[in-house]
Amino acid sequence: MEDNIEKDTKTILIVDDEQPIIDVLLYNLKKEGYRIIEAKDGITAVNMALEEKPDLMLLDIMLPRLDGLSVCKRVKNSLNIPIIMLTARDSEIDKILGLELGADDYITKPFSVRELVARVKANLRKIEVVQNPQTLPEKQTTDVKKENKIKVGDLELDLDKFEVRVRGEIIELTLREFEVLKFLAMQPGQVVTREVLLEKVWGYEYYGDIRTVDVTVRRIREKIEKDTSAPKILITKRGVGYYVQDNAK
């Protein structure tokens, strides 16, 4: 990494109005080899993101001038970068993941620095694989090229365009929602646990908060199902996990 520091260094934008938190994140993320830029209010954060085009954003919810949820929405309208929301309250989690914000992840304060760094690495790794499929192992790359479309009943995924259709209609999903649906659709009828989804789709090497999975699945259902109370495509196996119906109608 030392030889290609200029070329390979990822830029992370930290947005928080508490200097002690910025200092902790700055120290630990710089130690991992990342370039860090920072903003202390929402308006500055949006302007800096659009100008600097960072590889990832760590974004606090409670900010002066413009709150973090609004910042997230504005940035995601222009840039497809991972955004990890920082929140001090559990009650904000549904809002972070449930609204049409496009947030990729969240972590609650006070957080473990080790956990946060792991989340940062996982989100950067995921976006790199999506943008550069040649970084996948050879066999996996071949499979993706060969199976560039997945069709299960009324559900169709175009893996090249990151496009989802249900009964022929294009459905707008966030990148994370697409990845969850793709993982399940590649093995229709097979129940996948929340923990496996968290590990395989979010890229965590430990078991994080499974609410992340539940809220994301709920958002997918709201977009692809005619009746979310009686889903026909994305099904819950109570107490176990989720699966895509083998012959969804």
pTM above 0.75, yes or no: no
**238 Cβ contact list (under 8 Å, min separation 6):** none
Q: Does 212 map to a domain?
A: yes
Q: Does 159 map to a domain?
A: yes
What total number of domains does the chain contain? 2
Residue 200 CA, distance from chain mean position:
12
The CATH number for 188's domain is 1.10.10.10
Q: Does 249 map to a domain?
A: no
Q: CA angle at residue 205 from 8 to 213, to 5 degrees?
A: 105
pLDDT tens for the chain, residues 1 to 249: 344 445 478 999 999 999 999 999 999 999 999 999 999 999 999 999 999 999 999 999 999 999 998 999 899 889 988 899 998 877 666 666 655 677 888 888 888 888 899 889 888 887 776 555 444 444 444 344 455 889 999 999 998 778 899 999 999 887 788 889 999 999 999 999 998 898 888 776 555 577 788 888 998 999 999 999 999 999 999 989 999 998 744
Among the three residues 131, 157, 185, which one is the final residue of a domain in this structure?
131
- Helix (H), strand (E) counts: the chain: 10, 12
Among the three residues 131, 156, 179, which one is the final residue of a domain in this structure?
131
Residues 114 and 180 in one domain: no
